[in-house]
Amino acid sequence: MTVQVKDFLTPVQDVRSDGVTEIPVIDLAAFLAGDAKALAATSHVLRHALENVGFFVIVGHGVPRALIDEAYAATRRFFALPDDVKCALAKNEDNIGYTPLRARYSRPTSDLNKEKQVTSAAESFFMKAELAPDHPDVLAGKRFRSLNRWPSEEVAPGFRAAMVGYQIALEGLGKSLLPLYATALDLPTNWFDQAFVDPMYTLRISRYPRQATLGTREQGLPPHTDTSFMTLLPYNPLQGLQIRLTNGEWAEAPAIPGSFVVNSGNMLRRWSNNRCMSTPHQVVNNSPEERYAMPFFLDCNRDWLMDCMPTCKSDDNPFRYEPMTYKDYMSWYTGDDSAAASAKP
């Protein structure tokens, strides 16, 4: 199957009729404790968030605060390393590694940036699932399934362990939400299980300089949409994430200690035939301090074919996209046509 580039593009300004201006907060505690009534009640709120907002906040998620705090501390220590140490871990064709301040690392996903004409000013480090050197996908040289690029333990003690532990916890959290997503989309609760047996995910840690130190046409991240099925972002005491509401206004993401901000991205939008939103957002660090962030992007298995969800199409609303895999989409999104990338299966 040949996938056309145009098939990957989605409208970025999706104004729903009710002009939603509030981002829902969902308490997961009862659902995760096995309360039979919580599944229906919680998925009802989630359905509204997916279809009308594109963002929501979760509390009662069960991820230990100490684990999140240690990941933040390790992130700060990493970006304090000398530039030559970080640049030796330069991002590769599998979207793993370091990108310095002002580096472009993705294809634009929002036309809203044409209005602002600003460029990104952040440094980032990308990690994926921690695979063993003898993992079959590593041995086969599969795209996006190579080994992570880590600084040595001598240079960054505890960094690798903190990042891997955080990723494992976030993978578990994301997968625990799948029955809610399925119920919200009128599917059996186990509908996503096989698609997420060995999910793809990316952890991107970033450092955002103070906006006051940047150029007039720079900001942390310009308006964009995520590629992911689901993005999980832990509470940050420094505001900076701004969400484009359906009334056209930009709003700060809710800042609830101990929470996660969650949003859907382009892959879920395509898979659901545009039923779920992929909402533009941006980062502007107006605080007096540098800001650090740790978004976790969860997706299905690398080679799972995302054909239209059966509850998201009809004779009057046929599937408007070609079926697609994670590898298809990310190969296009990264915009990497190098020989090394093209040679990977």
Q: For the chain, how long is the longest CA-to-CA vector?
A: 61
333, two tokens: 């999104």
Higher local confidence (pLDDT), 303 or 18: 303
Alpha carbon 141 to chain centroid distance? 24
Which of 74-88, 115-129, 148-162, 202-216 has the least mean pLDDT?
A: 115-129
For a pLDDT cut of 90, what percent of the chain falls above it? 78
Going by C-alpha positions, the residue among 289, 286, 285, 267 that lies closest to residue 276 is 267
Q: Residue 163 pLDDT more than 50? A: yes
Alpha helices, DSSP H, located in the chain:
29-32, 36-52, 65-79, 83-87, 113-116, 136-139, 159-176, 178-184, 266-271, 326-333, 339-342
pTM of the entire predicted model: 0.92
Instruction: Determine the Cα–Cα distance for residues 265 and 15; give it in Å rounded to an integer.
Output: 16
The pLDDT of residue 219 is 86
**Which domains does the chain carry?**
5-342 (2.60.120.330)
49, two tokens: 């968030």
Going by C-alpha positions, the residue among 252, 261, 263 that lies closest to residue 25 is 261
The pLDDT of residue 103 is 77
Q: Residue 339: CB partners within 8 Å, gap ≥ 6? A: none
Q: Residue 320 pLDDT more than 70? A: yes
Residue 19: strand, helix, or coil: coil
The residue type of 14 is D
Tens digits of residue pLDDT in 202-225 = 999 999 999 888 878 788 888 999
Q: How far does the chain reach from its first CA to its final CA, in angstroms?
A: 15
Instruction: Determine the Cα–Cα distance for residues 263 and 46; give it in Å rounded to an integer.
Output: 11
Tens digits of residue pLDDT in 246-277 = 888 899 999 999 999 999 999 999 999 999 99
Per the prediction, the chain carries an average pLDDT of: 89
Residue 311: strand, helix, or coil: helix
The pLDDT of residue 339 is 62
